[in-house]
Chains A and B, each alone.
Chain A
């Protein structure tokens, strides 16, 4: 059974760079046609897609594209999110998830990690 697990800091200060890692277990991160993505959810609010990657191709939400980088380390079975110059508006639960391609839904999700941005 595929499992995804997010890790990273829970508390950050404004202007810092958020770095999160998603570790994939129970399956391969480098085989098949799967995309690996990040979605976030501010407390009490809805879901926002941040971006996804497929092999070396990356796709970002234009609203965040200038601050986001998603990368993969297949040897560690991990993919990562970096979000630069965070503000309080970036406070959210961050989820990593898998989807087969653009036309398919997110079928496996991590449990999520709360990241709070506060001075």
Chain B
């Protein structure tokens, strides 16, 4: 199985801050890396697919980069509605696996 490790597990930030979350794969997943946002009591929502492609309707302040084993999700200017948990997921091989999540909290 490909292990996905996210860092940090949590972070505190203020509105307007630039936030970066890292996801590392235990082996190369090429660019088959997706990012989801999850708010309490809700299903995950797709933000980024193929490492850097923005899902339709997702604000442009979200961006993704990386390939191989190291990936980042960046929120260029944190908005109040962005306080949530974020998960990476590899779709390179079965079993599909997710990172442990990063909780973005209000400072």
Contacts of A34 in B (CB 8 A): none
Q: In chain B, residues 24-69, which have Cβ atoms closer than 8 Å to a Cβ of chain A?
A: 32, 34, 36, 42-46, 49, 55
The main secondary structure of chain B at its interface with chain A is: loop
Q: Are A110 and B43 in contact (CB under 8 A)?
A: yes
Min CB distance B59 to A, Å, is 17
The main secondary structure of chain A at its interface with chain B is: loop
Q: Are B87 and A46 in contact (CB under 8 A)?
A: yes
Bound-state CA distance A47–B94 (Å) is 15
Q: Are B44 and A109 in contact (CB under 8 A)?
A: yes
Contacts of B101 in A (CB 8 A): 46-47
Interface size, A (range):
20 to 34
Q: Are A103 and B89 in contact (CB under 8 A)?
A: no
Q: Are A106 and B44 in contact (CB under 8 A)?
A: yes
Other-chain residue from A62, A95, A102 in contact with B91 (beta carbon distance below 8 A): A102
Other-chain residue from B32, B43, B55 in contact with A103 (beta carbon distance below 8 A): B32
Give the residue name and chain of the A residue nearest to B100 (CB).
Answer: A46
Q: Are B98 and A48 in contact (CB under 8 A)?
A: yes
Q: In chain A, residues 85-119, which have Cβ atoms closer than 8 Å to a Cβ of chain B?
A: 95, 97, 99, 102-107, 109-112
Q: Quick one: CB contact mask for B81-95 with A, threshold 8 Å, 1 for yes?
A: 000000101011111
Min CB distance A51 to B, Å, is 9
A49 contacts the other chain (CB 8 A) = yes
Contacts of B7 in A (CB 8 A): none
Q: Are A103 and B91 in contact (CB under 8 A)?
A: yes
Residues on A close to B: CB < 8 A? 46-49, 52, 59, 61-63, 95, 97, 99, 102-107, 109-112
